[in-house]
Amino acid sequence: MSANPTPRHPHPSPCRFIAGLVAVLLLLTGCDPSDPSAGKKSPAVPTAAPGGVRTIGVAFETLQTEFWVAGFDKLKSECKARNITMLEAVADGDAARQFDQVKNFIQRGVDGIILVPKDGKTVIPMIRAANAAAIPVVLYNRPADPTDARHTTVAPDNAAITRETVDYLISVAKRTGRKQKAMILLGDLSDVNALGRRDGFEAAVQAAGDAVDVVARVPTDWNQEKALAGVQSAFQAHPDIGLIFTSSDFMFPSIKSVLSSLGKWRKYDQAGHVILGGFDGDATAYQLMTEGYVDATGVQDVYWEAEQAIQAIVDARAGKAVPARIDDRGFAITQENLKQLAPRMWGAKQPLRP
């Protein structure tokens, strides 16, 4: 079946049909169909010239926020610029589905796989499957748990960027001359990004001594409705909260809705302003900053991360050594440096959804 001499034929060739039956039989006898040699032999799969990269499989866990869409679009345009075919897949939060998508990439003989995993644990068997097929894997923006499976992670240094952002928020708080009550909206704590941001926040608070008092740590599981309810009940318990940090910008609308109803939605230079900070640097955050409501947000350098992810695969294919971890140092954008840094903020170029 590997040497099918006929050119592309509109009818199913008996060879292929038999191949299908054989596949099922092989499967039933316990032969692993993801055996890399099976994929390589197949004539229908384009194989890369040695060292070159022709196709990359990109599997995202979700495309439900602008952040992921921005990264996804950048990967697409970067692939196009480098004349690489990009195969795409979205798992909608289902790890089993993501595994099938990765297997599918492997089967189709891609030269590299870029993954946004569902979580740090379920991705490990996927990486192993790619390792077995000698296909380089890059985890984009979300690292795996410690494992011996070989891969490269391109991700923000969440703790460092958050620390920088929260340091700025605290400096604003100090200027008010009062000890401020603070609140953090936590992410899904099975996500290391969420953990890193929490750690950065706690470190900054620790270092500030008694400048702020953290009175609420609201779990959101990356869910806007949950965030809304959490912020509401926090304000019921502590009506005088003066500083809020959200682990992701996409939860600003929830905060806005609560603050507006309490009459506390004020610009940074107005009296009664609640100090606001976030993380991601999305379009909402950009707009809220230009309007003056948000003080600062930690920006991930999405474009740089996307370029690095593809570069890592190209390097790996070329036989160069690729580090296991590529840190995006990002930056904190604040009311003070907004003008200078906006061109590097991904959210500043995104069309804002009404």
Partner 1 sequence: MNPAVPVPLRRLSADARAAILLPLVLFLLLAAFTPGFATAGNLGNLVVAGLPLLVLATGQTVVLITGGIDLSVTAVIGLTSVLGALVMSGDAGWLRGSPAATPVALAVMLGTGATVGLLNGSCIAWLRMPAFMVTLTTTLFMGGLAVWLAQRQVHAESIYNLPAAFLLLGNRPGLAAGVAIAAAAATHLLLTRTLLGRWFQAVGYNPRTALISGVPVGGTVVTAYVLSGMMASLTSILITARLETGSPSHGRTLLLDVIGAAVIGGTSLFGGKGTVPGTAAGVLFLALLSNGLNQLNLSDFFITMVKGAVILMAALLDVRRNRWARES
**Binding of partner 1 by 267 (CB under 8 A):** no
If the CB atoms of residues 126 and 306 are measured against partner 1, the closer one turns out to be 126
Window contacting partner 1 (CB under 8 A); options: 92-100, 264-272, 276-284, 291-299: 92-100
The Cα–Cα gap between 286 and 296 comes to: 10
Going by C-beta distance under 8 Å and a sequence separation of 6 or more, which residues neighbour residue 156?
141, 193, 196, 300, 301, 305, 327, 328, 329, 330
Beta bridge partners of 333: 297
**Binding of partner 1 by 230 (CB under 8 A):** no
- Give the β-pairing of 325-328 and 275-280: unpaired
**Binding of partner 1 by 4 (CB under 8 A):** no
Instruction: Please select the residue that binds partner 1; options are 5, 12, 343, 354, rule is CB under 8 A.
Output: 12
Instruction: Please select the residue that binds partner 1; options are 103, 238, 256, 344, rule is CB under 8 A.
Output: 103
Nearest of 203, 35, 182 to residue 106 by alpha carbon: 35
**Binding of partner 1 by 119 (CB under 8 A):** yes
Window contacting partner 1 (CB under 8 A); options: 13-21, 210-218, 274-282, 287-295: 13-21
**Binding of partner 1 by 31 (CB under 8 A):** yes
Window contacting partner 1 (CB under 8 A); options: 25-33, 166-174, 298-306, 321-329: 25-33
Instruction: Please select the residue that binds partner 1; options are 70, 114, 122, 212, rule is CB under 8 A.
Output: 122
**Binding of partner 1 by 95 (CB under 8 A):** yes
Tell me, by CB under 8 A, how many residues bind partner 1: 56
With beta carbons less than 8 A apart as the criterion, state whether 194 and 247 touch: yes
Nearest of 291, 213, 215 to residue 252 by alpha carbon: 291
The Cα–Cα gap between 214 and 232 comes to: 16
Query: What does the per-residue mask of binding to partner 1 show for 123-162, with x meaning CB under 8 A?
Result: -xx-------------------x-----------------
Would you tell me which residues interact with partner 1 (CB under 8 A)? 1, 8, 10-12, 16-17, 19-20, 22-24, 26-35, 38-39, 42, 44-45, 87-97, 99-101, 103-104, 107-108, 118-122, 124-125, 145, 188-190
